[in-house]
Amino acid sequence: MFRKMLIVFAAGCLGALVNSVALWLAGRHGVTAALGVAIAPGLSPHWLYPRIVWGGLWGFLFLIAWHDSRPLIKGLCLSLFPSAAQLLYFFPFQSQQGFLGLGLGALTPLVVLLFNAIWGVATALAVKR
């Protein structure tokens, strides 16, 4: 069991790195701004480190269904959990961006779902390997 825990944590960290770089690139190239969403982070250790740790912690969700033959479906489904936390708790209560983060733009929920889906798929593929 400990081996499985290490694998899903490491996979979650890797998924968070992929998610973070994708989000940074989208912000850097104006994709998020074109969608009217004020999310364009800089790629710094201060921003990246907590995201990687949280990604690893969220990776423990992959222990729920360890032997799943459909990693993409599992990754997409499990990515809904960190999305819900971000939209329903972290944006409204931690960063004061309003319900669903709408203070950052009307399409913020879509952006959060999309980039957390990247985390979920990358994590699922890493777990599968």
- Position 64 scores a pLDDT of 85
Q: Is the pLDDT of residue 65 over 80?
A: no
How much is the pTM? Answer: 0.90
- Position 3 scores a pLDDT of 92
DSSP designation for 105:
-
- Position 14 scores a pLDDT of 98
Residue 20 neighbours by CB under 8 Å, 6+ apart: 41, 43, 47, 48, 51, 52
Round the average pLDDT of the chain to a whole number and report it.
93
Q: Is the pLDDT of residue 69 over 80?
A: no
- Secondary structure (H, E, C), 36-70: CCCCCCCCCHHHHHHHHHHHHHHHHHHHCCCCCCC
pLDDT in tens, 6-59: 999 999 999 999 999 999 999 999 999 999 999 999 999 999 999 999 999 999
Measured distance CA(14)–CA(19) in Å, rounded? 9
